[in-house]
Amino acid sequence: MSSAVSRDSALLGRLLMASKRTSVIAFYFLALVLLVLDLWTKGLATAHLNYAEPVVLTGFFNLTLLHNTGAAFSFLSTAGGWQHWLFGGIASIISVVLVVWIYRAPATAVLLKFALALILAGALGNLWDRVTLGYVVDFIQWHYNDYYWPAFNIADAAISVGASAMVIDSFRASRRD
């Protein structure tokens, strides 16, 4: 009897580990798909848009190729160049932390892992630009009349949605506790 329980317990353990690996792989795959989408759209913007010349799509949405040497919304973009290395280093460290966090998160933490995958994709997309180009390619621009939101890209949107999902998950987690 005890060998049957032990065998069943071992089988359950293997199934749970396989399920966790599948779950982790799915979130890494999501991050990879978003990373590829981000790099592809930045490549399209670079190839087909003229720098700083808006292509008006609607009364509130333009495609405008811009190069951001700073952080979010061009923060520190006029600094002397040291910010390139600082932001690259921060993004590298955060990416490693996110990869480990996704792996270690419980299989039931689906929203958290979704959020982390989005943030990972965004961090890697912008890191790639910083390392290969020295700036981040931005091209999506929202506006209302003469009030313009800073230009951004798919990576920035993924980070924003991922951060919002993390906040929602934290509220849900605090209710469970």
Going from the C-alpha of 150 to that of each of 55, 130, 169, the distances in angstroms are 15, 18, 27
Alpha-carbon distance of 130 to 136, in angstroms, equals 6
With b for 16 or more beta-carbon neighbours within 10 A and e for fewer, the 51-75 pattern comes to eeebeeeeeeebbbbbbbbbbeebe
- Helix (H) / strand (E) element for 66: namely strand 61-68
Element housing 71 (H / E): none
Residues 35, 123 contacting (CB under 8 angstroms)? no
Active site residue 129: no
Q: Is 38 a catalytic residue?
A: no
Choose the catalytic residue: 138, 146, 169, 177.
138
Q: Spot the catalytic one: 38, 129, 156, 169.
A: 156
- Interacting residues of 154 by C-beta distance below 8 A, sequence separation 6+: 34, 37, 38, 41, 42, 122, 125, 140
End-to-end C-alpha distance for the chain, whole angstroms:
37
The residues annotated as belonging to the active site are 138, 156
